[in-house]
Structure 1
Amino acid sequence: MARLELIAELKGHTDRVWAVAWSPSGNTLASCSGDQTVRLWVCSSPDDPSQWTCVNVLEGTHKQTIRSVAWSRNGRQLATASFDATTGIWERDADGGDYECVATLEGHENETKSVAWSSSGALIATCGRDKSVWIWEVASDSEFECLSVLQEHTQDVKMVVWHPTEDLLASASYDDTIKIWREDDDDWYCSDTLEGHRSTVWAIDFDKSGDNLVSASDDKTLKFWRCYRSDNSENVSSVTSEPKWKCVCTLSGYHRRCIYSISWSKVNDRVASGGGDNVIRVFERDEEAEKASAESGDNMPIYKLIASVDEAHCASDVNCVQWSPVEKFGALLASAGDDGMVKIWKFVE
């Protein structure tokens, strides 16, 4: 079996670390924490991914926990979602040094749980405890306009994530569902509701193509969903002409407690998960098992566990796992935990 090798421990936060996000170039890692700060870490050696330095601490804007952090697609801006019900937009100065909060997005009634930047860079999505999803348009570098407030979830919305190439949004909720949102003549609507989890859906992520989605839940399972167009050859039908999402694989028994985070690598197609049992798991497609299954007429994906780390964060929750987005460091996985640490792992075959 392959393994995850711990190559770096990044210390500096004074409270639990909720999330990490790699910059599009892969050379900077942002982490956000209950200490109301974001730390930016840079690999100090281009050929040695075990050497990291904290180069910036973003603070003073949020008055409560920073729950989520996301980079713009060009890497020049950073968005931060906070329990103070606001989302901060940070921009690096012309000298490429310090960051300044240039805008604050307000509107959520209480805790903002997640923020995500669209692949086009023109849209931002936020979600919160008020059961809503907000779509914001980037009107200019420092001005943002709310385009739509989506209120079809019946409970706290935990996470939003954009399709990797389209302006299509997925949201995960305490109401045990995932919703897919599309735009039609400047009006956003729910085009599909994915049901199957028996408890809170904490995290979701698309694969590189955007035709597949993975979800992680309080029910201790991972579910893989596939998008079927109206003309699909598998005869998956829909009551409308909209693409239909169907669960094609469920993984259970790999986590003992709630699964808080999931990351689908856009480089190597592996899936990493982390949760309340202080464990990180890595899965990949089992091609041999799929070939054998296909002989009986089943073309559903089959996943196998290929690497695992127990006690990943000193007997505390693993709140976030994120694969590096670039080919050079595609084997690197960053994790964040209740122990206040950010850890860098290298996948070794």
Structure 2
Amino acid sequence: MSQSPVQSWDLGIGPIYCHAFNKDRTQLAVSSSNLIQIYQLQNGAWKEVYVLKEHDLPITGLDWAPNTNRIVSCSQDKNVFVWTFDNGNWKPELVLVRINRGATTVKWSPLENKFAVGSSAKLVAVCYYERENDWWVSKHLKKPIRSTVTAIDWHPNNVLLAVGATDFRARVFSAYVKEVDEKPSPNPWGSKMPFGQVMAEYVAAGWIKSVSFSPSGCRLAWVAQDSTLSLVDANQDIQKSATVQTTHLPYATILWVTENSLVVAGFDCSPMLYTINNGTLSFVSKLDVPPENKNANSIFQKFRNVDRNALETLSDLQLKSLHQNAIVQLLPHTGNTQNIVKFTTCGSDGLVALWDLKNNRAVVH
């Protein structure tokens, strides 16, 4: 890896819906359709090494467990698969997820002994492995969710689950499964945590796009379609949330980089850094670099040909940012949960980018 503050790769597969890395970050799984394409990092470039074919409709979520080396995928086809690498091949196991609408998002728990699946069926399926029957089963978080689940995130204690939905609510549920979990200890979110218990609920003015617990698990942040970023600190007042109304286009994803700072990104096509001082969210900067001067993709080229008289050069069509379309996902890359040094983005423009926070000489807008 070079020391550039930003590296980017165009994988040439079209808009990327989701991506995930293995433990040592030498392999990358992405999806832009109903296929999972796995790439190996070779000499600074990504080379395709596996294509996983099991889903019938577009894949909406991927997560790669670092320690067990298992991939979980979910799709609009209502199916969820756990992929295990065995004898040089990836083998799928179908999960008994029991949903009658498409899945929207999926994430492994911190201990990797269960995972959560959001869906359009107004529920979250909490899935775990049942050894007696040798299959993956699920329990459902339903009430009081009244619409499509769009975002989930696990608390560091492996029990609490943050859920965002299009009913304009961000909630914290207990996802305690006695078959696989030890009895949870009391924490700022509550002391009694039976499965399905709603620990907290917050109202937004738009549907929730992403939710995320801080490294300590005491803070919860979420972004909504009304261009807001919100925060609650359970140590201060679990009932009171602080909301920042931004002037940017809506954010779609959140990543905590320290306990007091987070990065958000979305339809403005640039990562943006916020910090927390005395419980107050403050915008720091928009981090980005100008796009490289090279041939644009075919869509831009076609547009240029159609509108040749109105545009002098191809650069007139380019945004002044590295990503040329919405950023859909942020992931940690280097560092630990308390201090993320590098993170990655993927977007609807087909780019995967690696951002270096410690060596950031990027243009700040």
Asked if TM exceeds 0.5, the reply is yes
Determine which of 191, 197, 208 is the counterpart of 1:201: 208
CA distance in 2, matches of 1:312, 1:119: 32
- Shift in CA distance, 117/190, structure 1 to aligned 2, threshold 3 Å: same
- Shift in CA distance, 107/280, structure 1 to aligned 2, threshold 3 Å: same
Please tell me the residue identity of whatever aligns with 1:214: A
Please tell me the residue identity of whatever aligns with 1:250: T
Conserved 8 A contact 2:270-2:286: no
CA distance in 2, matches of 1:174, 1:156: 6
Conserved 8 A contact 1:322-1:333: yes
**Per-residue deviation, residues 181-204 of structure 1 (Å, max 9, x unmatched):** 115685522323432420010101
State the match for 2:157 in structure 1.
165
- Shift in CA distance, 142/312, structure 1 to aligned 2, threshold 3 Å: farther
**Per-residue deviation, residues 145-179 of structure 1 (Å, max 9, x unmatched):** 22334242111110121112331111100011111
1:70-219 residue pairs with structure 2 within 5 A? 70-94=63-87, 97-140=88-131, 143-183=135-175, 186=178, 188-219=195-226
Flag structure 2 segments of 5+ consecutive residues without an equivalent.
179-193, 289-319, 361-365
CA distance in 1, matches of 2:176, 2:335: 33
State the match for 2:36 in structure 1.
38
CA distance in 2, matches of 1:125, 1:76: 17
Conserved 8 A contact 2:104-2:119: yes
Q: How many residues align?
A: 308
State the match for 2:27 in structure 1.
28
1:282-293 residue pairs with structure 2 within 5 A? 282-285=273-276, 290=277
Conserved 8 A contact 2:163-2:171: yes
Whichever of the two has the greater Rg, that structure is 2
State the match for 2:349 in structure 1.
339
State the match for 2:232 in structure 1.
225
State the match for 1:5 in structure 2.
5
**SS of the residue aligned with 1:251?**
strand
CA distance in 1, matches of 2:141, 2:230: 27
CA distance in 2, matches of 1:258, 1:202: 9
Please tell me the residue identity of whatever aligns with 2:16: V
Conserved 8 A contact 2:97-2:125: no
Conserved 8 A contact 2:275-2:284: yes
CA distance in 1, matches of 2:247, 2:68: 35
State the match for 1:320 in structure 2.
329
Q: Which moved more, 1:161-170 or 1:136-145?
A: 136-145
The runs of at least 4 aligned residues of structure 1 exceeding 6 Å deviation read: none
- How far the C-alpha of 1:214 sits from its partner, in A, is 1.3
Please tell me the residue identity of whatever aligns with 1:246: K
**Per-residue deviation, residues 71-120 of structure 1 (Å, max 9, x unmatched):** 225141000110111111111114xx432213344421111001111112
State the match for 1:239 in structure 2.
none
**SS of the residue aligned with 1:279?**
coil
- Shift in CA distance, 211/28, structure 1 to aligned 2, threshold 3 Å: farther
TM-score (norm 1): 0.79
**SS of the residue aligned with 2:159?**
coil
Please tell me the residue identity of whatever aligns with 1:60: K
Please tell me the residue identity of whatever aligns with 1:6: V
CA distance in 2, matches of 1:283, 1:317: 19
CA distance in 1, matches of 2:5, 2:177: 49
CA distance in 2, matches of 1:280, 1:324: 15
In the alignment, structure 1 residue 18 sits paired with structure 2 residue 27: no
TM-score (norm 2): 0.76
Conserved 8 A contact 2:274-2:281: no
Bigger relative contact order, structure 1 or 2 (CA pairs below 8 A, ≥6 apart):
1
**SS of the residue aligned with 1:189?**
coil
- How far the C-alpha of 1:270 sits from its partner, in A, is 3.8
- Report percent identity of matched pairs: 16
CA distance in 1, matches of 2:322, 2:99: 34
In the alignment, structure 1 residue 246 sits paired with structure 2 residue 240: yes
Determine which of 44, 61, 79 is the counterpart of 2:54: 61
CA distance in 1, matches of 2:115, 2:239: 23
- Shift in CA distance, 121/274, structure 1 to aligned 2, threshold 3 Å: same
Determine which of 287, 306, 324 is the counterpart of 2:285: 306
Conserved 8 A contact 1:324-1:332: yes
